[in-house]
C-alpha cells in the first residue's frame, strides 16, 4: 500500500502542478481574446479598416484557454452527471460503479488524447487562414486538454482502486483538491 500511495501522491502533485501552470496561462489567453476582438471593433470604426486576423486569433486563444483549464474543472467535479443512482445502491456497489464510470471516461480520454496527437502531427500541413502559423500549434491544444484530463482521470481511478483494495486507505489519503465537487457549469 505504501508504494501505491507513493505513486498516487506523486501523480497528485504532478496534476496540481500542471493545473496551476494551466491556470496561470489561461487567464492571459482570455485577456488576449478580449483585447483582439475589441481591437477588431476599434479598427473597423476608428480607422475604417478591418483587420483580418483578430477573429481567427481569438478562436485559437479560446481553444487554448479551454485546454488549459479543462483538467482543473474536471478535478473539481464540474463535469455534471446524474448521481441519483449512487444514493440508492449499497456502498460497495456504489464504489464499483464509480470505478466503472472512471474506466469509461478513461477509454474516451485515452482515445481522444492519442487521436489529438496524430492530428497535431498532421497539422503542420495546414496553415491558419489569416496569419502565418501552422495549424498544428492550434491543434496541439486538444492533446494537451485531453492528456491533462487523462492524468486527472488516472488519479481518480487510482483512488477508487485503492479504496477497494486496501483497508484504511481513505484515512491515509492526503487531503486532495477534489474533495469538494462544485458545479461551475453555467447556462
Partner 1 sequence: MLILFLPLFLILLLIGLPVFFATLLAPGAMLVWEGMDRDLPLLFRNIYNGIDSFPLMAIPFFMLAGELMNQGGITLRLVHFSQSFIGHVRGGLAHVNIMSSMLFAGLSGSAVADTSAIGSMLIPAMEKNGYKRKFAAAITAASSVIGPIIPPSGIMIIYAYTMEISVAALFAAGLVPGVLMGGALMAVTAIMAKKYDFPVASEKHTWRQRAGSTRKAILPLLTPVIILGGILGGIFTPTEASAVAVGYALVLSVWVMRTVKVSELPAIFTRSAKASAVVLLLVGSAITFKTVVSLSHAAESLAFWVLSISEVPYILLFMINIMLFIIGMFLDAGPAIIILGPILAPIFIELGVDPVHFAMIMSVNLTVGLATPPMGLVLFVASSVSGERVESIAKAILPFLAVEIAVIFLITFVPEVSLTVPKWLGLVK
Partner 2 sequence: ADYNLRAVANSNENDEDYDGLVVFKDFVESRSNGRIAVDLYIGTQLCANGTECLQALEDGSVDIYISTSGGAANMYPYVQVLDLPYVLRDDRVAETVFQGDFTREMRDAILEDSDERVRLMTIGNTGGWRNFANTEKTIQEPDDMEGMKIRTIVADLPQELVKAMGASPTPIPWPELFTSFQTGVVEGSKNGITDVMGMKFPEAGLKHMTLDGHAYMAALWYMNNEVFMDMPEDLRRVVVDGFDALQQATFASPKRKSIQAYQDFAEAGGELYVPTLEEKEQFREAAAPVYTWFQENIEDGEKWYNLLASEAEEAEEAIEAQYEQDLM
Give the footprint of partner 1 on this chain (CB under 8 A): 23-24, 26-27, 29-31, 33-34, 37-38, 40-41, 45, 55, 58-59, 62-63, 65-70, 72-73, 76, 78-86, 97, 101, 104-105, 107-108, 111-112, 115-116, 119, 138-139, 142, 182-187
If binding is defined by CB under 8 A, does position 180 make contact with partner 2?
Answer: no
Query: From CA 117, how far away is CA 124, in angstroms rounded?
Result: 12
Site for partner 2 in 124-143 (CB under 8 A): 125-130, 135
Query: From CA 149, how far away is CA 74, in angstroms rounded?
Result: 7
Tally of CA atoms within 13 A in the half-sphere of 182 that contains its CB: 6
Label residue 7 exposed, middle or buried (CB < 10 Å: 0-12, 13-18, 19+): exposed
- Please pick, from the candidates 7, 31, 50, 165, the single residue that binds partner 2 as defined by CB under 8 A: 50
- Minimum CB separation from partner 1 for residue 2, in Å? 32
| Smaller CB separation from partner 2, 47 or 88 | 47
| Alpha helices per DSSP H over 48-90 | 54-75, 84-88
Q: Look at residue 21 and give the partner it binds from partner 1, partner 2, none, a contact being a CB closer than 5 to 8 Å depending on partner kind.
A: none
Q: Look at residue 85 and give the partner it binds from partner 1, partner 2, none, a contact being a CB closer than 5 to 8 Å depending on partner kind.
A: partner 1
> Quick one: how far is CA 99 from the chain centroid?
20
Q: Which residues is 33 bridged to in the sheet?
A: none
How many C-beta neighbours within 10 Å does residue 145 have?
A: 24
Query: Which residues of the shown chain bind partner 2 in the complex (CB under 8 A)?
Result: 44, 48-50, 52, 55-56, 119, 122, 125-130, 135
Amino acid at each position: 500500500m505504501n508504494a501505491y500511495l507513493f505513486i498516487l501522491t506523486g501523480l497528485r502533485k504532478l496534476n496540481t502542478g500542471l493545473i496551476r501552470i494551466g491556470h496561470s496561462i489561461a487567464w492571459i489567453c482570455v485577456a488576449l481574446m478580449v483585447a483582439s476582438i475589441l481591437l477588431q471593433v476599434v479598427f473597423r470604426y476608428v480607422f475604417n479598416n478591418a483587420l483580418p486576423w483578430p477573429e481567427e486569433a481569438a478562436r485559437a486563444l479560446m481553444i487554448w484557454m479551454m485546454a488549459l483549464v479543462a483538467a482543473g474543472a474536471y478535478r473539481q467535479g464540474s463535469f455534471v452527471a446524474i448521481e441519483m443512482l449512487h444514493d440508492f445502491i449499497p456502498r460497495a456497489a456504489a464504489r464499483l460503479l464509480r470505478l466503472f464510470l472512471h474506466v469509461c471516461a478513461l477509454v474516451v480520454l485515452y482515445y481522444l488524447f492519442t487521436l489529438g496527437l496524430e492530428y497535431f502531427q498532421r497539422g503542420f500541413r495546414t496553415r491558419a487562414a489569416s496569419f502565418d502559423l501552422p495549424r498544428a500549434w492550434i491543434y496541439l491544444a486538444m492533446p494537451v486538454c485531453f492528456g491533462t484530463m487523462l492524468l486527472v482521470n488516472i488519479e481518480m481511478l487510482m483512488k477508487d482502486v485503492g479504496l477497494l483494495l486496501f483497508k484504511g486507505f481513505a484515512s491515509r489519503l492526503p487531503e486532495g483538491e477534489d474533495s469538494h465537487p462544485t458545479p461551475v457549469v453555467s447556462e
